[in-house]
Amino acid sequence: MRPLYYEDGVLKLIDQTKLPANTVWHELKSYEQVAKAIKDMIVRGAPAIGVSAAYGIVIGVNGIVTDDKDVFFKELNNIADVMKNTRPTAVNLFWAVDRIVEKAYQNKDKSIDEIKKEVLREAQIMDQEDVENNRKIGEFGNSLIKPKDTILTHCNAGSLATCGYGTALSVIRAAHEAGKEINVFANETRPYLQGARLTAYELMQDGIPVTLICDNMAGYFMHKGEINCCIVGADRIASNGDTANKIGTYTIAVLAMENNIPFYVAAPVSTIDFGIATGDEIIIEERNHKEVTHIREIQLAPEGVNVKNPAFDVTPNHYITAIITEMGILYPPFSESIKSLKESL
């Protein structure tokens, strides 16, 4: 299962706002449409947003008609800014946009047509690397899973959040493929319901046993001894291991420590923001209040009620047992393990 395909100047995105009830594909032919799709969460999940933005730039630069390199690079930078202004928290978006722009500059002495081809090639490499990295995350993470474990996950860090196979769900997939007879508990993940709508759907499609629970039930099942470990994805990991992920992740991490349950983060190295020291520097996206007061078009809350809707929270590093990346498993103290990882790049 993949949420995105690029073909002949068109980015095809499965509409994740409509899953699982309806499978609707959008065909995007302008970079503005791609930016809007990221903003509206038609595509979501840190790695999927990054690669979609990269293809958005490909589509954008294809539309630049000029022989003047200064004009070309000025327009490229404008397109990159539009992409970066979609969602603030997942660093993969900024990482992907910067990587594409840098590729263009590295090839600035070539013809504009050739620069456009290099930009496309780079987006395709990122797309392919994402799936390869996810497979490696799965292999490393599988070593932490015992036969018959029940694993709690939050939000959707699966195929739908990446270019395929997932991050947190890659560990789950790898353990399942290894015949470990695991079970998954999926938090529904209010307000956007990525757990109920996307994680439950994709695990069922793969025949992986999944039980859906409301977010506020996680502590109950941990206390009863029914959860063996937690695995979540990440949107941005600071140099000290503090991790931004879907709102509610922090609550699970605290509950996991209280109940002596390992809490794992699974993410590619592109999710680590080496430029920030701690999670305090991470910008948390505030989304439309209607996501809280309504479920789809049905209003649940009284008209005019005050609402807050932060889309992410930051889990302090001391709640995290390990961070699983495609380059290996990082253990505390994360400031040191992340520093060594950076030096090895």
Q: Which residues bind ligand MRU (CB under 6 A)?
A: 44-47, 90, 155, 157, 161-162, 167, 194, 233-235, 245-246, 311
Q: Which three-class secondary structure string do you get for 91-139? A: HHHHHHHHHHHHHHHHCCCCCHHHHHHHHHHHHHHHHHHHHHHHHHHHH
Least distance (Å) from ligand MRU to the CB of residue 112?
34
Question: CA torsion, points 238, 239, 241, 246, in degrees to nearest 10?
Answer: 10
Least distance (Å) from ligand MRU to the CB of residue 180?
21
Least distance (Å) from ligand MRU to the CB of residue 31?
19
Least distance (Å) from ligand MRU to the CB of residue 270?
11
Q: Which is nearer to ligand MRU, 170 or 337 (CB)?
A: 170
In the structure, how many helices (H) and strands (E) does the chain have? 12, 15
Q: Which is nearer to ligand MRU, 82 or 193 (CB)?
A: 193
- Catalytic entry in 130, 235, 242, 313: 235
Q: How are beta strands 263-266 and 229-232 bridged, if at all?
A: parallel
- Note if 235 is an active site residue: yes
- CB count, 10 Å around CB of 66? 11
Q: Which is nearer to ligand MRU, 103 or 154 (CB)?
A: 154
- 89: DSSP letter: S
Least distance (Å) from ligand MRU to the CB of residue 185?
16
Task: Tell me the β-bridge partners of 264.
Answer: 231, 322
Q: Phi first, then psi: what are they for 58, rounded to 5°?
A: -55, -50
Q: Which is nearer to ligand MRU, 31 or 192 (CB)?
A: 192
Q: Phi first, then psi: what are they for 232, rounded to 5°?
A: -130, 165
Q: Which is nearer to ligand MRU, 2 or 69 (CB)?
A: 2
Q: Phi first, then psi: what are they for 329, rounded to 5°?
A: -100, 130
The residues carrying an active-site annotation are 235
